[in-house]
A and B are shown apart, each in its own frame.
Chain A
Amino acid sequence: MVSTSAFQIDLPQALVERVRRGDVGAFEQVYRRFERPVYTLALRMLGDAEAARDTLHDAMLKAFQRADQYRGDAPFWAWLRQIALNEALMRLRIGERFIMSMEAAGLDADAFADDAPAPWAHADAQLLEHALAQLPAVTRSVLWLYHVEGYTHPEIAAAMRKTTSFSKSQLARGIARLRAILDPEMLDPEIPEPESEVESCPLTTT
């Protein structure tokens, strides 16, 4: 799968070196470039603007404080994205949005790869965002990490401290739910509605 994550911004080596030495001016340049990718990732995962803002703040703070630990082997964007992902996942856990009962056995993403026109092909951005917002946070996170950020199932499973089959089932469930929301005629009675309390649960962000 080809990933075109918004994080994939290459930085000049000299800028990274200045950040590693604790240069605040250099870090501001990094911040300005990655502010939106970090905020967007957090918002898509958490579904809450305030929590996404806190995630942005804390992720950037940690990135600056740990910059001297960055060895330069992986791209800086991948390193920063991992920090942002960790921060968002921590908030998911704090908000107790990990609903184990969501784990569905026997659902496979390939089961939905039929020839019917995909409803998201005709949905405008607002409609698609609205549909995404209706998914449980964990399901939406898996969907986003897999399809947009290009993480593999084992990588998602490791980050979420779950199994690979959990990641796969969440992805399948997310795709099915999106189809059903965007095209209600395709609603599969076998697929239960997401648990509403998950989305109404306010995040604890301290």
Chain B
Amino acid sequence: MSAHDNLTLGEALRHLPQAAPPSDEWMLLRERLRPASVRPSALRRYALPAALAATLAAAFVILRPAPAPAPATVAHVEASSSTNGATSAQIHNAQNVANHDERLAQLQQHSQALERWLRETGRDASPLQGQDLAAAAEIENLIGLVDVELAAPRQTRAQALWQRRVGLLEDLAALRYSSYRLAAGSQLAASTRID
């Protein structure tokens, strides 16, 4: 058996030549390039429902048993504040770290709660359609991009990324909330119908 026989499928596929587009797409693309720093306008109309959905998700968190507080953070603060020789700058720094960790944990918890809420309400909601479906797909894509950055081994802006993730999940929750409300309305109408 030669070494060639041991070629794995992955290796064989990676040895395939890269494909090139049939024409120079850059010239077409260049005409459409405009910097855009604003979020998709389609999402703006969800500001109020987003707040509502976030409130519902928050209520969802409150009604669930709270997980135990992160012991490492508490221990860190206690250790810092009980050190006799610590300077005020060191204590201040330790408090900042503790606050940062606490905020990060809150964001992660909020993110998990929103995802859980989306998963559980998604089962009962009407399927999204048209513009809502497109907006939901867009938000999910943006969450995917945030997740790519969060998966980086040494990412340094975790809090900002988690903040953004929570914001996007709230947008998604707003979309789903509308659909959930519609489905609930339909069920209510069906159950109260008088023949």
Taking Cβ atoms with an 8 Å cutoff, the residues of A that contact B are 1, 4, 6, 21-22, 24, 27-28, 31-32, 35-37, 39-40, 43, 49, 52-53, 56-57, 60-61, 64-71, 73-75, 78-79, 82-83, 86, 90, 117-118, 120-123, 125, 128-129, 132, 143-144, 147-148, 159, 175, 178
Lowest 3 CB-CB distances: which A-B pairs, in order?
A22-B35, A73-B155, A147-B10
Asked if A123 meets B30 with Cβ closer than 8 Å, knowing A39-B21, A74-B149, the reply is no
Residues of A within 8 A of B25 (CB): 35, 53, 56-57, 60
Q: Which of B11-19, B77-85, B90-98, B101-109 contacts A (4 or more CB under 8 A)?
A: B11-19
Known contacts: A24-B33, A121-B4. The answer to whether A69 contacts B145 by CB under 8 A is yes
Interface size, chain B (Cβ < 8 Å): 47
Indicate if the CB atoms of B33 and A61 lie closer than 8 Å.
Answer: yes
**B37 at the A/B interface (Cβ < 8 Å)?**
yes
Question: For residue B18, which residues in chain A have a CB less than 8 angstroms away from its CB?
Answer: 6, 36-37, 39-40
How far, in Å, is A32 (CB) from chain B's closest CB? 7
User: How far is the CB of A153 from the nearest CB of chain B, in Å?
Assistant: 14
Contacts of A64 in B (CB 8 A): 33, 35
Quick check: B151 and A74 within 8 Å, CB to CB?
yes
Which of B115-153 touch A at CB < 8 Å?
137, 141-142, 144-145, 148-152
CB contacts (< 8 Å) of B28 on chain A: these are 57
State the CA gap A79–B142 with chains docked (Å): 11
Q: Are B145 and A53 in contact (CB under 8 A)?
A: no
Tell me whether B20 and A53 are in contact (CB under 8 A): no
Which residues of chain A come closer than 8 Å to B149, judged between CB atoms?
A: 70-71, 73-74, 79
| Interface segment, one of B156-164, B170-178, B183-191 | B156-164
Q: For the complex, what is the distance from the CA of A175 to the CA of B30, rounded to whole Å? A: 40
Determine the residue in chain A with the shortest Cβ distance to B37: A68
**Contact between A28 and B26, CB atoms less than 8 A apart:** yes
When the two chains form their complex, are residues A32 and B26 in contact, meaning their CB atoms are under 8 A apart? yes
Say whether A118 contacts B37, CB under 8 Å: no
Q: Are A65 and B10 in contact (CB under 8 A)?
A: no
What are the residues of chain A within 8 A of B141 when measuring CB–CB? 83, 86, 90
A1 to B13, CA, bound (A): 14
Interface pair A52/B10, CB less than 8 Å apart: no
Please state if B152 and A128 are interface contacts (CB–CB under 8 Å).
Answer: no
Interface centre among B17, B35, B154 (most CB of A within 10 A): B35
Chain A hits for B35, CB < 8 A: 21-22, 64-65, 67-68
Instruction: Assess whether A122 is in contact with B26, with CB atoms less than 8 Å apart.
Output: no
Contacts of B30 in A (CB 8 A): 24, 28
Known: A31-B29, A79-B148. A178 touches B9 (CB 8 A): yes
Q: Which interface residue of B12, B25, B142 has the most chain A CB atoms within 10 A?
A: B12
Contact A61 to B29, CB < 8 A, known contacts A35-B20, A68-B35: yes
**Are A118 and B5 also in contact (CB < 8 A) when A53-B21, A56-B21, A148-B14 are?**
yes
